[in-house]
Amino acid sequence: MTPPIPHKPVLLVVDDQAANIEVLHQIFKADHAVYMATSGAQALAFCANQLPDLILLDVLMPDMDGHQVCVQLKADPRTRDIPVIFVTGQSNPHDETQGLRLGAVDFIPKPVNASIVRARVQVQLMLRQSLRQVQELNETLEERVAQRTAELRQALLALRQSQDNLADSEARATLSTLIASVSHELGTPLGNSRMVAAALGEQTKVMAQALKAGQIKRSSLDQFVEQVSEGVSLLESNLVRAVDLLGDFRQVAADQASEQRRVFKLDVVVGEILHTLSPSLKRQPHRIVVDIAPDIVMDSQPGALGRVLINLVNNAYLHAFEGHTNGELTISAHADANQVTLLVADNGVGMAPDVLPKVFDPFFSTKVGHGGTGLGMAIVQNLVTKALGGAVSVTSTVGQGTRFELVLPRVFSG
Ligand SMILES: Nc1ncnc2c1ncn2[C@@H]1O[C@H](COP(=O)(O)OP(=O)(O)OP(=O)(O)O)[C@@H](O)[C@H]1O
Ligand SMILES: [Mg+2]
């Protein structure tokens, strides 16, 4: 089926014989606007005013023959694309080739057969119509592509911006987790110290009164000294714990805040991170086993490493150990001269084969609507590759657990 042509096509019939024109007029008048010209000059004058959709052009005409008319039409950019069909009296293959060479699209022998001429004209009009549509489409396409490109560029910018914001807010969230967790942890030794100090104060007051009254016994003096020294050692151990904790926290916080490169021992940094996380982790029945040789020294960004670890530990507790009471997370490392391989493996639920390939996709989470944003692992991958210059991979078996492997250069200048 041929698609409809929207407007009545304009045909120009050029022939020096009125009878021939009349034949073609009869064939086309019903559904075409048919104009006539009886000479080449008239045809060109018509085209100067109005562009027909197709020209049926007689070859043999006095003064200017069809071939000459065709040459002129094809030389003018305005009329160049109008399809020309030659209507030839004699069947002369040379003439026909010549016509086609001049740019005609077809030729029809006289006397014309109505259905043949209609079919051929129809084909050319359809072709021209389709060509126009393609041209129009091309023009708007370029515009549309330009517009889409601009939109995409804008979206990309917005995405980068939000990625930066997210990385910022992630760093802040890590810090506030640490602050919450450290303040909680500091509460115990400081609370203990306060109680011990109060008890010591009370006992000293009692002792001072007894002294004043001159009723002090040797045995109660001995007891007092024992209580004081016990209290002091309790105070000391509690304060040492608090100071240690603060020291670790200060280092972790400085690493988090500075994004700076420094030389550090892997086991020490991992210890600091786990220590600062321990208050929240201790509330759970799971264990963390650390197996890192004490001599692995790195020159890299400990802050980034800390955030990676925090995400991996949190994921193990949140996802892997869901419903478990004896989860075990092993953090181990080995190193050669250039590289450190850090393994973080849990014995938890594992991941289904359809989940595993998506772990690092931003916004992929099996806990959407339950606190998961699906950014944790995307951030891990970003930090491992960009800030630490390494690579991260994952293997997992449902029911057995998940293992993340981080291969990191010992020295990375970022
Ligand atoms: N150790 C693990 N064991 C089992 N599944 C895991 C483990 N770590 C990650 N996953 C799966 O990978 C998904 C993506 O983890 P990711 O850390 O990116 O997002 P999330 O933890 O859901 O949300 P958040 O952005 O708050 O971290 C999780 O939703 C979970 O299904
Ligand atoms: Mg997570």
Q: What is the per-residue pLDDT across 72-84, written as a single tens digit (0 to 9) for each?
A: 999 999 999 999 9
pLDDT digits (tens, 9 = 90+) for 132-180: 888 888 888 878 888 888 888 888 887 777 777 766 766 666 666 667 6
Looking at residue 268, what is its pLDDT?
94
Looking at residue 307, what is its pLDDT?
84
Residue closest by Cα to atom 29 of ligand 1: 365
Range 33-58 average pLDDT:
95
**Percentage, residues of the chain above pLDDT 70:** 92
Best residue among 166, 314, 365, 405 to mutate for probing ligand 1's pocket (most ligand atoms within 8 Å of CB) is 365
Q: At residue 3, does pLDDT exceed 70?
A: no
Looking at residue 258, what is its pLDDT?
67
Question: What ranges do the domains of the chain cover?
Answer: 10-112, 261-414
Range 111-129 average pLDDT:
90
Ligand 1 pocket member 401 (CB < 6 A): no
As its CATH architecture, domain 10-112 has 3-Layer(aba) Sandwich (3.40)
Q: Which residues pair with 174 in a beta bridge?
A: none
Q: At residue 273, does pLDDT exceed 50?
A: yes
Range 199-221 average pLDDT:
85
Pairwise pLDDT comparison (256 vs 223), residue with the higher score: 223
Most confident of 134-148, 230-244, 389-403: 389-403
Q: At residue 247, does pLDDT exceed 80?
A: no
Range 287-311 average pLDDT:
92
Which pLDDT band, with edges at 50, 70 and 90, does 6 fall under?
low
> Mean pLDDT in the chain?
87
Residue 206 CB neighbours (<10 A) = 12
Ligand 1 pocket member 372 (CB < 6 A): yes
Ligand 1 pocket member 373 (CB < 6 A): yes
Q: At residue 4, does pLDDT exceed 60?
A: no
CATH topology classification for 261-414: Heat Shock Protein 90 (3.30.565)
Which pLDDT band, with edges at 50, 70 and 90, does 17 fall under?
very high
Which pLDDT band, with edges at 50, 70 and 90, does 1 fall under?
very low
What span, in angstroms and rounded, lies between the C-alpha atoms of 52 and 33?
Answer: 9
Looking at residue 91, what is its pLDDT?
67
Spell out which residues have Cβ within 5 A of ligand 2, the ion: 315, 376
Pairwise pLDDT comparison (5 vs 331), residue with the higher score: 331
Looking at residue 289, what is its pLDDT?
96
Which pLDDT band, with edges at 50, 70 and 90, does 369 fall under?
confident
pTM assigned to the model = 0.53
CA of 387 to the centre of ligand 2 (A): 19
Which pLDDT band, with edges at 50, 70 and 90, does 5 fall under?
very low
| Residue 22 φ/ψ, nearest 5 degrees | -60, -40
